[in-house]
Amino acid sequence: MEITADMIKELRAATGAGVLDCRKALQESNGDFQKAVDWLREKGMATAAKRADRDASNGMVELYSHGGGRVGVMVEVNCETDFVARSEQFRTLAHEIALQIAASAPKYVKAEDIPASELDHEAEIARTRAKEEGKSGAVVDKIVEGRLEKFKDEVCLLRQTYIRDEGTTIEKLIMQNVAAIGENVIVRRFQRWELGESASQA
């Protein structure tokens, strides 16, 4: 995979690592952003990634109402200090995350939060569809794997494409802010309500 200057710039913004280190990390991870961050972490080069291990118990609960009160969002975003929690940049980030939740209706913060039963159910649907399309053997497994990844991209907040920039994800947006703010930032939990939906959907 070709490693572009934009990819290096994005990784550098998120981790604070040097240009050459970012290029090497992307080459080693075949262009996969998260694997490149992990690679830099393992080598002790990622300042933003290092902060991910630090305790984040301050922060704020952002409330957002959309469409004249038709959609409501409450999200808890944490950081390490009260000083950062009160900063304009942190508050802007929390607001952007709330907007994302209102617009894209994720169900979970991260992929690890998805119950195994739900993933099994999605895999079964994908397998059935692939077989109906005449696929067989290893091809079916590849299709199932691809559709499960796409499903995770849709339902996990951190994996969703950022509504203001199709070239980035919410996870990358947070990492960029971690590098700029200098503290660990975590989306702890969220809730999204839509007018008229039943309690079982909420």
pLDDT at position 110, please?
Answer: 93
What length does the chain have?
A: 202
| Cross-strand bridge partners of residue 169 | 161
Reduced to 3 states (helix: H, G, I; strand: E, B; else coil), residue 200 is: coil
Q: Are 29 and 59 in contact (CB under 8 A)?
A: no
How many Å apart are CA 183 and CA 202, to the nearest integer? 32
Share of the chain above pLDDT 90, in %: 50
Q: Are 15 and 39 in contact (CB under 8 A)?
A: no
Mean pLDDT of 52-72: 85
Mind listing the pLDDT tens digit for each residue in 86-110? 999 999 999 999 999 999 999 999 9
How many Å apart are CA 23 and CA 194, to the nearest integer? 43
Phi and psi torsions of 101, nearest 5°: -65, -40
Q: CATH top-level class for 115-154?
A: mainly alpha
How far, CA to CA in Å, does 187 sit from each of 108, 184, 191?
A: 10, 10, 12
Reduced to 3 states (helix: H, G, I; strand: E, B; else coil), residue 72 is: strand
| Cross-strand bridge partners of residue 78 | 59, 186
Smallest Cα–Cα separation from 178: which of 35, 12, 15?
A: 15
CATH 3.40.50.150 fits 5-51, yes or no: no
How many Å apart are CA 90 and CA 93, to the nearest integer? 5
Mind listing the pLDDT tens digit for each residue in 163-175? 999 999 999 999 8
* pTM, entire model: 0.70
Domain borders along the chain are 5-51, 58-110+156-194, 115-154
3.40.50.620, 3.40.50.300, 3.30.470.20, 3.30.479.20: which CATH number matches 58-110+156-194?
3.30.479.20
| Cross-strand bridge partners of residue 58 | 79
Give the tokens for residue 185: 């930032």
DSSP 108: B
The angle at the Cα of 77, spanning 37 to 100, to the nearest 5 degrees, equals: 80
CB atoms near residue 114 (< 10 Å): 17
Identify the residue with better confidence: 2 or 43.
2
